Amino acid sequence: MSQEDEYFHKLDQEAKARLKESSDAKARDEAVAQRQALHAGKCGRCGGNMHPKPFRGVEIDVCEQCGSVLLDPGELEQLADRDRGGFAANFFESFRKK
C-alpha cells in the first residue's frame, strides 16, 4: 500500500470512528429521553404515581400506592438542616457529598 493510500485509509477510518461516536451519543441521549418519559412521575418501586407533599417545609414526592418517598437533589440536606443537630442531621451527614 502506498503512502497516499495509507493516508486516505487513515482519514477514512478516523471519519468512520467520529461518525460511530456521534451515532452512539445520539442513541444514548434517545435512550435516556425514553426512560425519562416512561418513568417521569412514577414510583421506582411499584410504578405508582408520585404526588408532592409538604414535609417540614420541604416538598417531597410520595407514592400513592406503596408510600415510597422520593427526595430530589438537595432535599435530604434541607431536611437534615431543619433538624439542627438532632438525630436526623447526624444520620444524614453520612450521605452528604464530600
* pLDDT tens-digit readout, 24-71: 999 999 999 998 888 888 998 898 999 999 988 889 999 999 999 998
**DSSP for 30-61?**
HHHHHHHHHHTTB-TTT-PBEEEEEETTEEEE
SS3 98: coil
Domain coordinates in residue numbering, the chain: 1-40, 50-93
pLDDT at 3: 92
Which residue, among 64, 14, 10, has the nearest Cα to 41 in the 3D structure?
Answer: 64
- Report residue 98's pLDDT band, with 50, 70 and 90 as the boundaries: very low
pLDDT at 79: 83
Residue type at position 71: L
Total length of the chain:
98
Task: Please compute the mean of the pLDDT values over residues 4-14 and round it to a whole number.
Answer: 93
Give the pLDDT confidence of 62-71 residue by residue, as tens digits: 999 999 999 8
Cβ contact 1:9 at 8 Å: yes
pTM for the model stands at 0.52
pLDDT at 62: 93
Give the number of other Cβ atoms within 10 Å of residue 11's Cβ. 10
